[in-house]
Amino acid sequence: DQQVKQNSPSLSVQEGRISILNCDYTNSMFDYFLWYKKYPAEGPTFLISISSIKDKNEDGRFTVFLNKSAKHLSLHIVPSQPGDSAVYFCAASANTGNQFYFGTGTSLTVIP
């Protein structure tokens, strides 16, 4: 049973515009959420995280929003750059150690 879902397998955005990647979860025990970026044949690279006590966290061009009542989080990338083209995974943990539940990923293409 997929507890973390990314319903959009792919997304294309023009360079300079905003990219919005979405993620939904079902387990109300999740209290920490992370976004990772992955290039082919490489391991995921940590981007940004958010605790369930917050609803927003910003790091440069990346902002993560958390809506606990809707069990939904999103990653905003502004402005989008061609180098942002990669697969993005969201992940969640339930304070039971380092067991992270991952979504299936969204492939972002930023068009120059």
Partner 1 sequence: KAGVTQTPRYLIKTRGQQVTLSCSPISGHRSVSWYQQTPGQGLQFLFEYFSETQRNKGNFPGRFSGRQFSNSRSEMNVSTLELGDSALYLCASSLDALGTEAFFGQGTRLTVV
Which positions lie near partner 1, rule CB under 8 A?
Answer: 2, 4, 6, 32, 34, 36, 41-46, 49, 51, 89, 91, 93-105
* Shortest distance, position 87 Cβ to partner 1, whole Å: 10
Pick between residue 2 and residue 8 the one whose CB is nearest to partner 1: 2
Q: How far is the CB of 21 from partner 1 (least distance, A)?
A: 14
User: Least distance in Å: CB of 97 to partner 1?
Assistant: 5
**Is the Cβ of residue 10 or residue 14 nearer to partner 1 in the bound state?**
10
**Residue 93 contacts residue 102 (beta carbons within 8 Å):** no
CB of 41 to partner 1, least distance (A): 7
